Amino acid sequence: MTDVLVCVKRVPDPTGEVVLTPDGMRVDGRYAGYTTSAHEEAAIALAVQVAESTGGSVTVLSVGAAESVEQIRAGIAVGATDGILVEADPDLLGPADVAAAVAEALRVREEAGRTYGLVLLGNDAADTGDFQVGVRLAYLLGRPVVAGVQTLEVDGDVATLRGEGPEGTEVYEVALPAVATVLEGGVSPKYPSVVGRMKAKKAEVETLGWTGSPVGAGREALTVPEPPPNEVTVIGEGTAAAPGLVAVLRELKVVHG
């Protein structure tokens, strides 16, 4: 039986247009909306697989503002068991702080008799892109960590994890307890069922605080780069544009014969 903790972050929808707050310090998610990143949705899907195959459970944890409970409940709606919100001002926290806050929450749970054989996180946060929370957490916990994982299986005390390396699919076999950071692609994210949504509404989400003193992220300002001026020539629309496109190809001398 493996209990899995999945760490998710509430982020402005990264597929939407980036609008900054007036002070230029944050992405304003009010327009695009907030979501859980694709990597973390994949992490939840993998965690649910592990829980199903080992008879374990999945806890979704988020460090952030009170509203992050939406992302926690979205995880419960697709199969997680319960949630933990570590309430903190995300703007004050850097990657080392988030790792410390997660480690502290794990200690609190452990003291209450709940241990997690596997902790999953996204490989990189969709907004801050620091690429380090999972690795820092693993060192705080003294556990091995594998990054960029796309699929995983747990058999007893050993996890087999796979991710893409420069020469092919890399396979790891790691003794539990362990930490892994997940990249989307190995598993389809789950969609909530009506029953799942009902369960999510009622499920227990424990709220914890974090008592550490943050070192922060060193952010001075954000900017959205202006695209360089460009005039695109629209050849046309749909299949009607095919002759025009071929004429351009011939002009560019890339058509032979």
* CA 175/CA 157 separation, integer angstroms: 6
The region of 62-70, 73-81, 83-91, 231-239 touching another protein under the rule CB under 8 A is 231-239
Is residue 189 involved in binding another protein (CB under 8 A)?
no
Cβ at position 209, least distance to another protein in Å: 23
State which H helix or E strand residue 4 sits in. Answer: strand 4-7
Q: State how far the alpha carbon of 232 is from the alpha carbons of 100, 169, 172, 238, 253, in Å.
A: 49, 40, 47, 17, 20
Cβ at position 220, least distance to another protein in Å: 4
Cβ at position 203, least distance to another protein in Å: 30
197: alpha, beta or left, given left = phi > 0 and alpha = psi -120 to 50? alpha
Q: Which is nearer to another protein, 18 or 197 (CB)?
A: 18
Judged on CB neighbours under 10 Å (0-12, 13-18, 19+), 95 is buried
Tell me which of 43, 152, 183, 203 binds another protein, using CB under 8 A: 183
Write the binding mask 155 to 174 for another protein: x where contact by CB under 8 A, - elsewhere: -------x-xxxxxxxxxxx
- Is 159:176 a contact under the CB 8 Å cutoff? yes
Judged on CB neighbours under 10 Å (0-12, 13-18, 19+), 233 is exposed
Is residue 213 involved in binding another protein (CB under 8 A)?
no
Rule CB under 8 A: which of 135-154 touch another protein?
A: 135-136, 138-140, 144-148, 150
| Lookup: tokens for 168 | 């092919």
Is residue 132 involved in binding another protein (CB under 8 A)?
yes
* CA 209/CA 110 separation, integer angstroms: 16
For residue 12, cis peptide bond before it (omega within 30 degrees of 0) = no
Q: Which is nearer to another protein, 55 or 257 (CB)?
A: 257
Rule CB under 8 A: which of 74-113 touch another protein?
A: 94-96, 99
Rule CB under 8 A: which of 22-51 touch another protein?
A: 27
Cβ at position 64, least distance to another protein in Å: 16
The count of chain residues that interact with another protein, using the rule CB under 8 A, is 81
Q: Please name the amino acid found at residue 78.
A: V
Tell me which of 92, 110, 207, 224 binds another protein, using CB under 8 A: 224
The region of 44-52, 105-113, 133-141, 204-212 touching another protein under the rule CB under 8 A is 133-141
